Amino acid sequence: MALLNDSINETLAGISDLVRGLPPGAKQRAKAAAVAFERTFQTLRVSYPRDPAVALGSAFAIFTIAERLVNIDKESETKGSGMIELLG
């Protein structure tokens, strides 16, 4: 089963498991990346409260990034290694 799939809950659970298993240095980098994305999203929410255009743009960006990650994972799997192996 691919780590990244159509189920947001399953994908989040799989990613959470991977993060928990990372060595301390890698775990800190993963946390820093997550915090950077979350800060950007929070800044937009505060700067443009209840703005449907900003919400739509944010959703577009989030799902575009997710699609790219899924495509990277599919390409890796066809070459014999998925993202799980890349993180190991």
Cα(15)–Cα(13) distance, rounded to whole angstroms?
Answer: 6
> Does some domain include residue 50?
yes
Per the structure, how many domains does the chain have?
Answer: 1
> Does some domain include residue 73?
yes
Six-digit token pair at 53? 């255009």
CA 52 centroid distance within chain? 23
Length of the chain: 88
- Angle (CA) 11-63-26 rounded to 5° is 50
**pLDDT tens, residue by residue, 73-82:** 676 666 666 5
> Does some domain include residue 2?
no
> Does some domain include residue 76?
yes
- Angle (CA) 62-42-54 rounded to 5° is 55
> Does some domain include residue 37?
yes
> Does some domain include residue 30?
yes
> Does some domain include residue 81?
yes
Radius of gyration of the chain (CA): 15
Domain that holds residue 25: 8-87
**pLDDT tens, residue by residue, 8-60:** 898 889 889 989 999 999 999 999 999 999 999 999 999 999 999 999 999 99
> Does some domain include residue 14?
yes
